[in-house]
Structure 1
Amino acid sequence: MPGLAAEVLPDGSVVEASDAFVSLVGKDRLPRQWLARLSPGSRGRLTRLLAQQADFQVSLEWSNGDAGTTWLACSGWWSPEQRRHTCFLADVTATETSREAAQLFIHRLHLVFDHLPLMVAYHGPLPEGRCLFANRQYANLFGLDDKTILGKPVRDIVGKVLMQEMVRQARSFFEQHATVVYPCSVPQGDGRWMRLEVTMVPDAGPDGQVRGAYVLMTDITQRYETERALRESEDRLARFMEASAEGVVFHRGGLITDVNPAACALYGADAAHLLGTPTMSLVVPEFREKAQRMADSRTETAYESAIFNARGEHIPVEVIGRSIQHGGQPLRVTVVRDIRDRREAQARIEELISGLRAEKERAEAADRAKSVFLAAASHDLRQPIHALGLFLTALRSMAQAPAVPARDLSDICRRMQASLDGLGQLLNMLLDVSRLDANAVEIAPEPTDLGLLLRELEQDFQHLAHEKGLRLRVAPCSLWVHTDPTVLRRILSNLLSNAVRYTPRGRILLGCRRRASELDIQVWDTGIGIPPEQREAIFEEFYQVGQSTAQHHESHGLGLGLSIVKRSAQLLQAPMGLRSQPARGSMFFIRLPRCAAPARAPSPALAPAYPGSTRGLGVLVIDDDAQVLDAMQRVLSVWGHRVFCASSADEAVVIAITHPEQIHLLLSDYRLGAHVTAVDAIRAVQACLPHPVPTYILTGDTSPQRILEASALGFPLMYKPIDAQVLRAALEAR
């Protein structure tokens, strides 16, 4: 059984398990003691699901002792015939860690909002305007708590009278979708009223429609009472003007008659300069009409405006005005308050709200990506494994027959190789993503023969296209381009693979077109096409276009191919393009600089054959997996090499000491168990040899961090599953 997999009975006993599963849980914990490694909650959930005799999916918290905790995604399939579950597990610790970090961030934001001297809430769209978020201060204002207030319509929270006031004051919010600020009063339990300043910020969607409103309330009761007391006491007005930190302006008939020092500082001019100045000349033009209307009303007013200072700068202010009698004549008193700090505070709060929304969206996107990846990987990785199982069953049946035609055995071997190739392509695609994430792809541009490359691609994909009944045509090309041939081949292979996958019938064309000093390599198909609205999304990871159409023909992949293509093209600094028409087909192209052919083009390398080698080498293989060691010994022995097998670094050192002259090449797995890596084993072995020998590191870990660590060692890497031709080439290069 590959990967982390086990056959589990309803009581939790393991009947059969993969080597990786046994290595994870420990052989001494089988068949049932392995459940103790799960957290109590995970153990209870898994036990209940196993007893239900049905398929399930669950996340499990696995204890690694002092090493911490690992999160595993477990998918179980119930087998009625065998009366047990087949469970496959995958490490999703990174995703769970991101989710927990997002939840912690949200929790901290709640703490921030609960300690702000503001009442903050978010209400959904009208007419109900249900409360979707509220801090403690906002909920307590209306006699609720921050839990019971959630989901309640705004009318049920604020009451009918206050609701009417909100609608009246916030008309521009509803009609123009603009932020509004207005004062209002809320009755308290002791018969008093709390004066509030309400700020309503619209939450508009991409279509411009308001999805809800952010509501911020500030308790300005004390300020309001202070201003009322000042208006009632003209005798104390002079002392207030001198001591006040807020600007106070007296004006009659639109001309300034007196100002306090704070107003002079705000306007940036002395009193002598301001006296006799028309008040409207100091108001920013867009606020003058409103300011004039408020001044003419002869009633108490409070609103936000903006003024000019002596340097011509715009200063946002709050204006509070009232009319009084002075010397038997009407006089207007206006308090001008600088609200730049308040605006900055409001902007910071809005930024916090925006950050909360962005984190929420990122967490949801990560969760969706995880679900898509698990579903796709579960299907596409099981397909070739399932086929291999059937072929092995056929081979066992043949082994019991008195005579088996060699042709039949050869056909089954060919089909098993095809299944392994398909599995390897999927794993290599995941490896490509990890190498790109780790920035471990090195670009080495050189003159590249397009004719040779296109012919090789034609040989690679002709059989696959023929099996689907498609016509693959490759236009001859004699031009050369300056690029990295390995990365270019990966790009074109992904494009051709997609063309075959998403073309149910018709033909595929691979060719070139000159563009001045550049050249376009184009892949045409008559497939399902790509709708215009999806032509950006198809280059994102895990995104798949036309699933409903493609899935009727074959597996539609993990949604990684075009993401790899885009990122690889960016490494080459090669522009890409796409033209497509739904139900008619698509054309992808990549543009590269042309160059002249070198004076002497290198001869194409012949594909290595599998018969025995012309010279036998002594190969030391280090791997802690007994099956891998046995397989490597058999393959290398058939090729005519002498193989020394070691399951640990200590065994390898003993072999190096006893056979120093017979070891010509070293192959070591990166992870050797007990926290020992290939670098430890290689250094120990090389120290025992009379001279350095070529060394290769084998790894199946595709995480970006592991790839960086292995690459930093300075030895060539081979990624599992290792292609036979790659292994043979390493031996022949000795």
Structure 2
Amino acid sequence: MSLTNPEDSLERQNEKLLKISESLMRRVEYGASHSSAAYAQFERAALLEKQVRERTTQLEKTLDLLHDSNARLAQANLETEAARSNLANAIETVHEGFALFDSDDIMVMCNSRFCRDFVDMLDMLHPGLPFAVYVDRISRSPHLALPEGESSARWAARRIRRHQDRHVMFNAQLTGDRWLQVSEHRTTNGGTVILQTDVTDILRLERQARDRLKDKQAQMIHATLDHLNQGVCIFDEEAQLVGWNFKIGALLSLPARRLHLGASFPVLLAHIDGELAFSKGIDRDGFRDWALSKAHRPPISFEVTHSEGMVLHIFGREMPDRGFVISCTDITAEREAAHRLTEMNEDLEQRVMERTLELEDALNAAERANASKSRFVAAASHDLLQPLSAAKLFISSLADKSAGDSDRAILEKAESALSGAEKIIDALLDISKLESGRISFDVRPMALSEIFRPLRDEMGILAARKGLDLRIVDSSLVVESDPSYLRRILQNLLGNAIRYTSTGRVVMGVRRREGGARIEVWDTGAGIAKHDQNSIFEEFRRLDTTASTNEGLGLGLAIVERACIKLGHPLGLWSEPGRGSCFMVNVPVASLPHHVTSTARPTPRPLRLAQSGLIVLLVENDPALRRAITILIESWGVSVIEATDAASALDLLDDLEITPDALLLDYQLGRGMNGVELYDAITARFGPLPGSIISANRTEPLDQFCMARGLEFLPKPLDRHRLSAVLDAAATSRAQAAEG
């Protein structure tokens, strides 16, 4: 319970407390002396006085704080009013109309320029105006020029929808050809600031500039049309003339009084009705229907013929504004030229046909001559190889029996001369086969070492004779190629390098190149000039004119080039006079590892044929060659049974009732069976026998036939060493069979 009323002022409460205190003091002084109740009252009064003093102090502090707060509040009000006044002055100085709406779309403030063009709503522009009401009044204002076909309600709805965007800017047209640009921007607290800018002067200047530009463009277009070599006329969407040049009147024979603004297309077409004949692409009615069509017009192109003989090309195309442009070009000269060209073309086709028939006859004659040449070369080579082979064998027999060094030297020179002739015939046969196109290749995986080893032995002797250093770098690569032809290619390249190198060395090696191998043959010879690097691959072409025919006819590189082309091995050449040359052959590396079996026959085991008691059946239809082979074989101590053809050979074996140890069979035996068929007939009677097929015919794949039967193929002219190796192998086989 409180001694004072809390609703009283502090002064009134202090006054009551003082009176209460005085009353208590008097009661203490005049009450019962030293009574315990009086003393207790005194203590309470003293305590109460202390509390009164503390409360009074607190009230005084509170009053001081209240006075300070009131002073600060008054100062803040003054500053707020000053800021509001400054803001109002600031937005009033802005040249644009300004208005601020809060986050609830209620107007906070605006300046006097805001909506000043809408005088009918100036009385409502004050704080508290809702944005929707502001838009609605604007949309219904008579000072707003709405777009054609749009109502005030639709305009207001579209304005409210745009108000949802964070930034809005658009131009509003007012009456009196005035324009107002309105832009809205969101504030950070969600309010909206609206600026209204009068852009009437800017738009009028732009319109004037645009009009001037249109006038200038119209002048430029008109000047351009007048300078065109084509006649041009432009029609609007109603098919009325809006532009043209002078050329169109001259081409279509239209008088100047007909060409004027607003002239209709049907009238102009009717005026030229008797002047033009529609020839290609479209007729008159179709042209009229196209021009007067209300639908989309596709481009049209056609030709007309003028009564004066001109041929005109007409082209029409629709423009984006639904108008259309028609151009007219005089193509009389082109049509006359095309007519003359057609006549010339027909005449040329006739001449080409006649020439083609002549060329076909010439080509057939050339093909017959080429085939005849190939047959002649093959037949002539066969006929040449027969006596050549016999001569070599006779010389070999004499060399075995001759004891004198001088006689042996002469025989060696004779054998060398025959070997040179043999090489020339081989080259002619190779060229004939490569040119005929009837050659077949045995392309298969092969180890390069199989070719490099024998070439090192064979070419090393030739290089040593000239004092050259020959180096063939070994390679373990396995490539895809025809072994015999790849060997012939590299043999010719090495032979050329040794032949045309006087001092230094010749090197052959292999480089890996992106899945392939490049075989390179380098030499330190005289080199080949740039202008000669193509001609060296021609037949019978040698740069060294002092070389003798024993060194070849210049067919080596021709064979190399043709063989590389047939095998698909790119051939390259680098050469510089005075520094040497490098021939390069690119061959593909085998994609998968293959087990490559060496085709080289191992060196025959030494065995004296004289002690073998070997019996050989020799079937050869050429008497001189048969006699030469017999003499050579018998000089080795081997018995020979001779026969001329297959029938006599079979009869001879029946009469003698003997089984030969080896067979030497010529492939071409005249009428009846050939050598391979004879071998099949003999083995059918006596079982498998070792033997060889002898032939000068290299146009057929005899080596494949022989390989399939386990036979050795001996080309003519016969090589005595290979022949002796065959007989040694037969003797070894017979000895092993006897021991078993």
Q: TM-score, normalised by structure 1?
A: 0.46
Q: Which has the larger radius of gyration?
A: 2
Could you say which structure has the higher strand fraction? 1
Q: TM-score, normalised by structure 2?
A: 0.46
Higher relative contact order (CA 8 A, sep 6+): 2
